[in-house]
Amino acid sequence: MSARAKFIPWCIFLSCGLLLAKDFWETDYRKWKHSEVVKMLEDSPWSGKVTLTAQQAGRTTTNVGGEMELYYTYTVRLFSALPVRQGYLRMVQLMNQYDEMSKKDREAFDQKFAPALRDFSDQVIVNLDFETNDRQAALEVDRQLKQATTDLLRENVYLISDRLGRIPLQQYFPPAPDGTGAKFVFPRVVDGKPVVDKSDKELKFELYVPGTDDKVFKVWKVKDLIVDGKLHY
């Protein structure tokens, strides 16, 4: 048998291996590593960062002396998507040495945090975190998000559907001590039609942060939100 003939089966084997490889979010979330949890919550099909420069944010500063570049970063996530909530729960597991617990303790832990994985069949929830190396801006944005109300934000934030256009805000929850950020709640169905369908290309989120010039605009690719044939958003 020629060297070329011997090589072909290995090519086929390797190709099949690549096709069968799964993304970590297609596996049991209780096995996710810390680095995978961070990726889920910061840079995944459901999560991403929107970073503005001082100029884009309409801010000026006199306290950096040209020695430090300022950044204003909003992390936006589809919180109602199961993989994101699994990421948060897995982070709590890792912080509490879940993997080293006895079977009885793990079962008690799972029961306590089961509500975190409940079905959000009637809502689309977007959560948002803010970080910056500009202390004054950090305090101001934190204050604005904590003081904001649903009525105040109705004209400043939208979920944008390919088929239905702008979806108005249903309810707003300020940042909470649980570390999951501010939450913007939208209806999942409008006039009997789902806000997102598998045939859609994109889902968008637009927010004008109150009290600032910051515009947060996040786009999710719908095809990337599908896991094992199910759309998660």
Residue 178 parent element (H or E)? none
Amino acid 66: pLDDT: 54
Amino acid 3: pLDDT: 47
Distance of CA 71 to the CA centre of its chain: 20
Amino acid 182: pLDDT: 97
pLDDT per residue rounded down to tens, the chain (233 residues)? 444 444 445 444 444 544 557 899 999 999 999 999 999 999 999 999 999 987 766 676 554 455 568 899 999 999 999 999 999 999 999 999 999 999 999 999 999 999 999 888 899 999 999 999 999 999 999 999 999 999 999 999 999 999 999 999 999 999 988 889 999 999 999 999 999 999 999 999 999 999 999 999 999 999 999 999 999 99
Amino acid 61: pLDDT: 58
Whole-prediction pTM: 0.86
Q: Where are the alpha helices (DSSP H) in 43-190?
A: 82-95, 103-113, 135-147, 150-153
DSSP E strands in the chain: the ranges are 47-52, 72-78, 123-132, 157-161, 165-168, 171-173, 182-187, 189-190, 193-194, 202-208, 215-221, 226-227, 230-231
